[in-house]
Every structure is written in structure tokens, then in C-alpha cells.
Amino acid sequence: MAIALLAVAVGATIISGMITVYREIPQQMGREFRAYGANLLILPGKDRSTLSGDEVKKISDSLSDYEIVGVAPFLYERLKINEQPILTGGADFAMLQKVTPYWQITGNWPQEGKQEILLGDEEAQRMSIKPGQTVLVSAGNDAAEQTFVVSGIVHTGGKEEQFAFMDLALLQKMLQKEDQVSLAQISIVADGTVLENVSKMISEKYPDVQPQLVKQIAHSEETVLSKLQALVLLVTMVVLLLTLICVATTMMAVVTERRREIGLKKALGAENKNIICEFLGEGCILGFFGGVLGAGLGYLFAQLVSMNVFGRTIEFAPSIAVFSIVLSIVITGIASLIPVRIATNVEPAIVLRGE
């Protein structure tokens, strides 16, 4: 019985831990995928070229019920840098670092309010410019040139290496587009279905803007999550089957050892229903205590997995603990069916004669 209890406890531990991990995978992996950039864009609606900063703020406030990593507004315009036309983006660098943590900077990020600029790696190589050097920036043919310090070089492996970036407020002032942005990037911890709902909600609530999902990131995230969840579910089913077999085998050994006891009880008048209740009761009690032990150990197991894989803690879920206990009782009950049938087929006369 001790072996059976251990088997149930181990099975319940793995099942409880796996179910907890299964439940946490979407949120935990969603946070990890935020390292690859925004998954939702807010663009101007029809017949508009820019958004107002107030609109972006209202949209951001309307998403307060969701886990928002960051909202990064951008204003794009082609400027002349050392007499070379380069597409330049104005950005809030503090928020940009949250939304695009994959950007690698050689040098430093520009400081807010200072005449500093980031150059994409391709443009920096083309103009032979390194961090710390100065460049002349103008907003047009008749605009006065301003001196900016190149604080850093941007490396992303994407089109950003062909751009330049400066503080959003400075670019708005240069272009005389106060409080105007070209788009806003939103990084939100959510799966594909939730993202679709968020996009629909923004479209209905703010008809003058156009939300757009970054489908490549959203699709990749959904594919990885579905495969991971399928793997966890498969492992859980295998553990469930192995626990069932182990408990059934142990209970059969128990019945075999107690054949004389069963025969004596039946000879003294015990009916099959008494034998069935006895062994099923023992199995269910075994499942209950094994489930309680496994539920606690399962949470510790899930916590260990989450800390080592994702670096985050998870909350204890009472519903999963109750489910694990109930499932353990059901499993031991099912596993006891064959041993119970063997017990009810014991012939008292034969057993008591020693045959």
C-alpha cells in the first residue's frame, strides 16, 4: 500500500505540475515573445496621415485591463543628415526600449531633450560615422541646419538599420507637428484570439484610427504555444496511464496477498458488495492522500519549472489542487476495478484449503 501511495503521489505531482504549467504557458511565453517587438500597430484612419498624441493616450488608457508592456509612438519624416536624405523616426526612447528590447545599440541611447541622434548601422557605415561624432540635420531645403551628436548606432538586422532616430519632441518641433505621430507600436501580453478582440474593440471605439496586428509575430507565438501545450498534454496523458498501470498492479498484489483474508470473510457471511466496498474504499482513500500530497508537490514542481525556464513565480491555483485530488481518486478507483473483480471471484473453500 505504501508503494501504491507513492505511485499515486508521484503521478499526482507530475499531473498537477503539468496542468499548472499548461495553464501558465500562454502568459509566460507571451511575455517572452514581447522581446521580439510590438504585436499591434495603431495607424491613422482613411484620409489622415498622422495621429494625435491624445488619441494614442486614450487608446492606451482603454487597454488598462490587459497587460501592456509598452506603447511607443513614432513620427516619421525624411530629413537631411549631412546633406543625405534619410528617413528619420522620432521616438520616445524610454518607451521604445520596453517595446523593442531586441535593438542593440553601439554607444548610448539618446537622452531626452538633448541634441542627440541614433543612426542605423547601414547609414552609419555608408557615411563612415561613429558614436560621438556630430552630424548636421535639417528638415528641408530652406530649414536651418542643427548640429546633433550621434550617441549610438542601431543594430537590428532589419530595416531600422536604414533609418535614423531622434527624440520625438525634437522632431515634432523641427517639423512643426506638435503632438502628432505617424503610428504607435503596442506590445501587449495576449494570444491571437485576445489580440483580435483588442483590435476589434479599438476599431469600434475609435473609428478614426486603424489597428493592425503584426501577424508574423502573432502567428509565430500562436504556433509555438499550441505545440508546447500539446506536448505538455501528451506528457500528462502518459503519466496518467503509467500511474493507472502502477496502481492497478500494486492493488492486484495486495488482493493476492489477502486471498485468505477475503476467503475467511466470505466464509463468515461477507457478501461481494462488502468486499467491493472495502477495496474500492481503500483505493479511494489511497487516491485522496496521494492526491493531497501530489497537489502540494505539484505546485512546487511547477514553481521550480517556471523559475528555471521563465524566471518568474506562479500563483497557487486551488482549482488545480482540487482537480488533482479528484483525478487521483478517480484513477485509483478505476485501477482497483480489476483487483476488486479478482477479490469477488475468490472461492472460500478453495482458499481456506490452501489451494
Question: Do 261 and 177 share a domain, yes or no?
Answer: no
Pair (319, 345) in one structural domain: yes
Distance, CA of 11 to chain centre: 25
Nearest to 15 by CA among 267, 330, 341: 330
Mean pLDDT of 262-287: 79
Predicted structure pTM score: 0.64
Which amino acid, 48?
R
What pLDDT is recorded for position 180? 92
Calculate helix-pair angle for 272-309, 259-267, nearest 10 degrees. 150
Quote the percentage of the chain above a pLDDT of 90: 26
Residues 199 and 254 in one domain: no
Q: Is the model's pLDDT at 79 over the cut of 70?
A: yes
E strand or H helix that includes residue 132? none
Q: What is the DSSP string of 43-80?
A: EE-TT-S-EEHHHHHHHHHHTTTSEEEEEEEEEEEEEE
Q: Are residues 77 and 22 in the same domain?
A: no
Asked whether the predicted pLDDT for residue 349 surpasses 70, the reply is: no
Distance in angstroms (rounded) separating the CA atoms of residues 161 and 119? 7
* Predicted confidence band of residue 36 (pLDDT cuts 50, 70, 90): confident
What is residue 231's predicted lDDT score, i.e. its pLDDT?
82
Residue 325, judged by CB atoms within 10 A of its CB (0-12, 13-18, 19+), counts as: buried
Is residue 59 located within the same domain as residue 206? yes
Query: Within this chain, do residues 204 and 321 fall inside the same structural domain, yes or no?
Result: no
Q: Please write the tens of the pLDDT for every residue from 102-134.
A: 899 999 999 887 899 999 999 999 999 999 999
Domain end point (choices 213, 238, 264): 213
* Residues 44, 24 within the same domain: no
Domain count for the chain, please give it. 2
More confident residue, 36 or 110: 110
Distance of CA 329 to the CA centre of its chain: 31
Of 213, 230, 247, which one is at a domain's C-terminal end?
213
Give the pLDDT score at 35: 67
Same domain, 58 and 141: yes
Q: Give me the phi and psi of 296, to 5 degrees please.
A: -70, -45
Sequence-distant (6+) residues with CB within 8 A of 315 are none
Longest Cα–Cα distance in the chain: 115
- Does 32 have pLDDT greater than 70? no
| Same domain as 328, residue 181 | no
State the virtual CA torsion across 63, 65, 68, 70 in degrees, nearest 10.
40
pLDDT per residue over 214-236, tens digit each? Answer: 876 666 767 777 777 788 788 88
Bridging pattern class, strands 183-189 and 40-44: antiparallel
Buried b (16+ CB within 10 A) or exposed e, 204-239: eebeebbbebbeebbeebbeebeebbeebeeebeeb
Supply the pLDDT for residue 351: 61
pLDDT tens figures, 188-201 = 887 777 888 889 99
Specify whether 196 is located in the same domain as 268: no
Residues 179, 274, single domain; the answer is no
Lookup result for grid cell 485509483: 332
- Asked whether the predicted pLDDT for residue 25 surpasses 80, the reply is no
Sequence-separated (6 or more) residues with CB below 8 Å from residue 22: 229, 232, 233, 236
Residues 281-309 have pLDDT tens digits of: 888 888 888 888 888 888 888 888 878 77
Q: What is the pLDDT, as a whole number, of residue 355?
A: 52
pLDDT number for residue 271: 79
DSSP E strands in the chain: the ranges are: 40-44, 51-52, 67-81, 84-91, 104-107, 116-120, 134-138, 146-155, 164-167, 180-181, 183-189, 209-213
Q: What's the pLDDT score for residue 345? A: 72
Query: What are the C-alpha distances in Å from 55 to residues 104, 177, 184?
Result: 30, 15, 10
Note the pLDDT of residue 93.
Answer: 92
Among candidate residues 213, 230, 263, the one where a domain is terminated: 213
Same domain, 191 and 330: no
Instruction: Look at residue 7 in the predicted model and tell me its pLDDT.
Output: 79
Domain ranges, residue 289: 2-30+222-352
